[in-house]
Chains A and B, each alone.
Chain A
Amino acid sequence: MDFDLSEEQRLLKDSIDGLLTDSYDFESRKKYMKEKGGWSKTVWLKLAEQGLLGLPFSEADGGFGGGGVETMIVMEALGKALVLEPYLATVVIGGGFLRHAGSDAQKAAHAPGIIDGSKTLAFAQLEKNSRYDLFDVATTAKKKGDGWVIDGEKFVVLNGENADTLVVTARTKGDRRDKTGVGVFLVPANAKGVTKKSYPTQDGLHAADISFTGVEVGADAAIGNPDDSLALIERVVDEARVALCAEAVGLMDESLKTTVEYIKTRKQFGVAIGSFQSLQHRASDMFVATEQARSMSMFATMANDFENAKERSNAIAAAKVQIGKSAKFVGQQSIQLHGGIGMTMEAKIGHYFKRLTMIENTFGDTDYHQRRVADAGGLI
């Protein structure tokens, strides 16, 4: 039992914190947001240079063999700096599918480009009616010769505008809500029949709604078993949830820090408003919520290595519940304690609130995961 970082982990934390302190202040972020697809290629290549894009890949695949704690460190730092670049979509999710189920050929084709920063990925999973159920897939992949033909519509695909390769969930057999018959396919973003409608999201990221009309892919497009990959999808999405928990902790840390600094300096009635007990108690409750979230982010990181998939999913669902509740409280109260200035686009606190809000609704909201834990028989 040891919650301290190892020497290497501390170095990793210092290096990413240092990089983001230098290149990711709030004003720079506004500029990056205006670049194509909503993020900065220059920053992305800096992340690659420091080895961060190859962090979770094995050394055999050209990476550094980092584990869950390393990803947690990176995601917390990305959250703290409100980073726009597609680390989650490319390294955690896209890379996750390759790491867990990619063939040698698939890894050889995609991992080097991810690691050196030349290629990014996006996860095309959400559908009009699927909401948070990962097995709910209407998009079809029909066998044609050795390959497949993909038809369907995907929504709110993060990094959908810039991605070179789309990781698409599609059904090879069965009905929309069957738990078997779902596969995962690598689709070049420029394949014939792929059309995209891109837009910024509420939290300043960019996403796209993507339709697939008779998109033909080869036999090498399927990752894992094309007829039965729900367990794989759950595995990778669980890792994405764990990463989001860590990102949210970074966001909450920074929100609390910014808010406490603000109420120490903002004066009304001739004194700093932070001298009022009602505000002090609110800030204390934000601290409590943040620490509880940090504990559960660590728990989720640990649970990601559980061998039993049910226990793993249950623990990660529980973490997402705590994160969702804490994020909502810390986000809302950050705005409240800032008062009017917190309502403006100009102040950075509102942008933290918006990202925290969107995280709650990504890969299952608080109610969804609470129900999962309840139906799994609880957590004691």
Chain B
Amino acid sequence: MDLAFTKEEQAFREEVRAFFRDNVPPDTRRKLVEGRHLTKDEMVTWWRILNKKGWGVSHWPKQYGGTGWTSVQHYIFNEELQSYPAPQPLAFGVSMVGPVIYTFGNEEQKKKYLPRIANVDDWWCQGFSEPGSGSDLASLKTKAERRGDKWIINGQKTWTTLAQHADMIFCLCRTDASAKKQMGISFIVFSMKSKGVTVRPIQTIDGGHEVNEVFFDDVEVPYENLIGEENKGWDYAKFLLGNERTGIARVGVSKERLRRIRDLAGKVESAGRPIIQDAAFREKLAACEIELKALELTQLRVVADEGKHGKGKPNPASSVLKIKGSEIQQTTTELLMEVIGPFAAPYDVHGDDGSNEAMDWTAQIAPSYFNNRKVSIYGGSNEIQRNIIAKAVLGL
């Protein structure tokens, strides 16, 4: 047992940190610190900088452009990225569809899609959830019918994140209605510009536009856009969801936010002195930092375990990451609300689509709090996570 980072790992951290310092556009960083949204251009610009450096798809196999880093290096990279902060790579492309394509796709598909994912030439979105299929994802109804060399797709997806920017979608579609619900699903990718695709925005309680409904009305898709085998889509979906076990804790994001809270709490006054001098507030902040330290260690245990024993067998501790990670993220936004107090109220009617520079930084605090309620719902709600622990870990 050796709980310290090696000299090489520490040097790697310095290298990564220096790269972010020299290459993340300052406005992009500032907007993230202030909890603002970024424009599509700002995000894509940064991802291309990262890709040029060779770090855009760092965890992919080397032959597809990955880095060959160790688990610990990936951990360090992600932590530094999140806590600098800089935008994380577009998960839908880099962490989700990319690995499915290089694992289950054919050579042609790999050649066609992977470089474009890495350089964000295509912005991908995820077509999984449906109005009637949330936690019970396998009950999905969107239908893909084979007609000659085409699929005809009909149905509706929802909660499709940033579909308004998307060029491509990867979609779970029912291709065999007679099979048991998990067995008749296929994994199909297609252009969002296809005829019959309609995107309708969903305004969320923070006032923002992050998610969408996507409708498919007789959308024609080439048969070759099927990834892997027909009716094996559920297996690929499970692979995809199990792929990112450690990133979900978002330790770096919470760290950065706690630093900001500490900074603001030293400036914002309460009872004639900075609120950080209020013992009750200070203890609440410390309590959150302690929880985060415990989570960071839990995450490191999972990372070290993967590095040593491979990713095959999930470490039981990994189930903790989603639950605690989301709770802590939510607590940090509550603490920010507490710091800002009555000035959380003013609402900027122009909203924050990344271009509203006139918006006061305080106006984003409450929306960020409202928005973060999502983190215990998405990616398998925390209740689903508890079901998983009960079944897979405790054997109940």
Contact yes or no, A284 B390, CB < 8 A:
yes
A266–chain B nearest beta-carbon distance, Å? 12
0/1 interface trace, chain B 1-21, chain A, CB 8 Å (1 if under): 111111001000000000000
- Decide if A302 touches B3 in the complex (CB within 8 Å): yes
Q: Decide: A374 and B390 in contact? CB cutoff 8 A.
A: no
The answer to the question of B211 belonging to the interface, with a C-beta cut-off of 8 Å to chain A, is no
Asked if A370 contacts B1 (CB within 8 A), the reply is no
Chain A residues closer than 8 Å to B394, beta-carbon distance = 260, 280, 283-284, 287
What's the minimum C-beta distance from A62 to chain B, rounded to whole angstroms? 25
- List chain B residues, Cβ under 8 A from A318: 289-290, 293
Q: Is B353 an interface residue (CB 8 A)?
A: no
Q: Contacts A3-B305, A281-B383, A292-B324 hold; do A379 and B4 have CB atoms under 8 A apart? A: no
Residues of A1-37 contacting chain B, CB below 8 A: 1-6, 9
**B285-A374 in contact (CB<8A):** yes
Residues A280 and B255 in contact, CB atoms below 8 Å apart: no
Contact with B along A235-265 (1 / 0, CB 8 A): 0000000000000000000000000100110
A172 to chain B, nearest CB (A): 33
Partner-binding segment picked from B108-116, B135-143, B294-302: B294-302
Across the interface, name the chain A residue whose C-beta is closest to B258: A380
Give the dominant DSSP class at A's interface: helix
Q: With an 8 A cutoff between CB atoms, is B268 at the interface?
A: no
Counting chain A CB atoms within 10 Å of each CB, which of B255, B283, B303 scores highest? B283
Bound-complex Cα distance A280 to B292 (A):
25
**Among A86-94, A220-228, A293-301, the stretch in contact with B:** A293-301
Name the one of A2, A274, A285, A374 contacting B1, with C-beta atoms under 8 angstroms: A2
Tell me if A373 counts as interface (CB < 8 A to partner B). Answer: yes
Is the C-beta of B150 less than 8 angstroms from some C-beta in chain A? no
Interface presence of A371 (CB below 8 A) = yes
CB-CB nearest in chain B for A2: B2
Q: What is the minimal beta-carbon distance from A72 to any residue of chain B, in angstroms?
A: 9
A277 and B300 in contact, given A3-B1, A260-B394, A374-B285 (Cβ under 8 angstroms): no
Q: Find chain B residues with CB under 8 A from A371 CB.
A: 279, 283, 286
**Residue from A69, A264, A295, A378 in contact with B297 in the complex, judged by beta carbons closer than 8 Å:** A295
Pair count A-B, CB < 8 A: 146
Does A229 belong to the interface (CB within 8 Å)?
Answer: no
Is the Cβ of B294 less than 8 Å from the Cβ of A295? yes
CB within 8 Å of B: which A303-358 residues:
318, 321-322
Which one of A2, A283, A299 lies within 8 Å of B308 (CB-CB)?
A2
The range of chain B's interface size is: 35 or more
Chain A residues within an 8 Å CB radius of B6 = 1
Is B259 close to A, CB under 8 A?
A: yes
Tell yes or no: B291 within 8 A of A by CB: yes
Cβ-defined partner of A288 (8 Å) among B2, B3, B323? B323
Q: Is the CB of A1 within 8 A of B386?
A: no
**Cβ of A263: which chain B residues have Cβ within 8 Å of it?**
396
For residue B304, CB closer than 8 A to chain A, the reply is yes
Chain A proximity of B325: nearest CB distance (Å): 11
Query: Contact between A374 and B283 (Cβ–Cβ < 8 Å)?
Result: yes
Mask for A364-380, Cβ within 8 A of B = 1, else 0?
00000011011100111
Q: What is the CA–CA distance of A301 and B3 in the complex, to the nearest angstrom?
A: 9
Please, how many angstroms separate the alpha-carbon atoms of A375 and B9 in the complex? 31
Contact between chains at B305 and A379 (CB < 8 Å): no
Residue contact A1 to B291, C-beta cutoff 8 Å: no
Does the CB pair A299–B286 fall under 8 Å? no
Alpha-carbon gap, A370 to B386, bound state (A): 28
Evaluate contact between B290 and A288: CB separation under 8 angstroms: no
Q: Is the CB of A379 within 8 A of B294?
A: no
Instruction: Flag if A373 contacts B291 (CB, 8 Å).
Output: no
Q: Within the assembled complex, what's the spacing in Å between the Cα atoms of A231 and B319?
A: 40
Residue in A260, A281, A284, A298 whose Cβ sees the most chain B Cβ within 10 Å: A284
A contact residues around B31 at 8 Å (CB):
none
**A375-B259 Cα distance, complex, nearest whole Å:** 16
Q: Indicate if A164 sits at the interface (CB-CB under 8 A).
A: no
The closest CB in chain A to the CB of B286 belongs to A374
Given A371-B283, A378-B262, is A1 in contact with B389 using a C-beta cutoff of 8 Å?
no
Asked if B1 contacts A4 (CB within 8 A), the reply is: yes
A372 to chain B minimum Cβ distance, whole angstroms, is 9
Q: Are B282 and A375 in contact (CB under 8 A)?
A: yes
Given A279-B396, A371-B279, A374-B285, list of 16 further CB < 8 A pairs? A1-B300, A1-B307, A280-B396, A281-B386, A281-B387, A284-B386, A284-B389, A285-B386, A288-B389, A296-B293, A299-B293, A373-B286, A379-B286, A379-B289, A379-B290, A379-B292
Chain A residues close to B by CB (< 8 Å): 1-6, 9, 69, 260, 263-264, 274-275, 277, 279-281, 283-285, 287-288, 291-293, 295-296, 298-299, 301-302, 318, 321-322, 370-371, 373-375, 378-380
* A-B CB contact pairs (8 Å), 6 listed: A4-B1, A277-B387, A284-B319, A284-B386, A292-B320, A322-B290
